[in-house]
Amino acid sequence: MNISLAQPSSQTTILLIEPDDDARPALVTNLQNRGYRVIVTVTPEDAQEWAKQCSQPPDLILCNQVAETIEGCLKKAQVIRQELAKPSRTPIVILAERYGCELEGQNIHQGDNSYVAYLENAQQLFDLLVQLCS
């Protein structure tokens, strides 16, 4: 199991599922710099294992869509949310990997407290996180 804890002093915890070795360090650093406590997992399976064992659920599940469909990524994140010890409506945010310019800059609500972010810039993600975690 490949899990690490990146922890500044903060009450808000994000469970990050980031399979991209190049993107992971920058994303973790940016989240930490914004004051988030980050549980870092590489695969959905690692995140699911962590969810089974955690005593305090995260405030948000953030998953980067890499090499699969948005629907598949969302389903895996929903399974992870179901594994949490307490019944949870923890928000899920999927970071879309590839998309057309007509979607850029949008956060699309997928129902069940789940969102797909078609990022125009990093600020869009941070604004969404603040909205969902406050």
Domains and CATH numbers, the chain: 3-133 (3.40.50.2300)
Of the candidates 129, 127, 35, 55, the residue with the CA atom closest to the CA atom of residue 91: 129
Q: Mean pLDDT for the chain? A: 83
State residue 111's pLDDT score. 83
Q: How far is CA 20 from the centre of its chain?
A: 13
Q: Are 48 and 75 in contact (CB under 8 A)?
A: no
C-alpha separations of 61 from 84, 94, 98, 102, 128 in Å: 11, 8, 20, 25, 12
Q: Model confidence over 45-98: pLDDT tens digits?
A: 888 888 888 778 888 999 888 888 889 889 988 888 888 866 578 899 999 887
- For residue 66, give the nearest of 13, 23, 35 by alpha carbon: 23
Cα 132 from Cα 128, distance rounded (Å): 6
Determine contact, residues 81/92, Cβ cutoff 8 Å: yes
Q: What is the per-residue pLDDT for 87? A: 59
Separation of alpha carbons 76 and 48, rounded Å: 9
Q: Which residues contact 91 (CB under 8 A, 6 or more apart)?
A: 59, 60, 61, 113, 114, 115, 132, 133
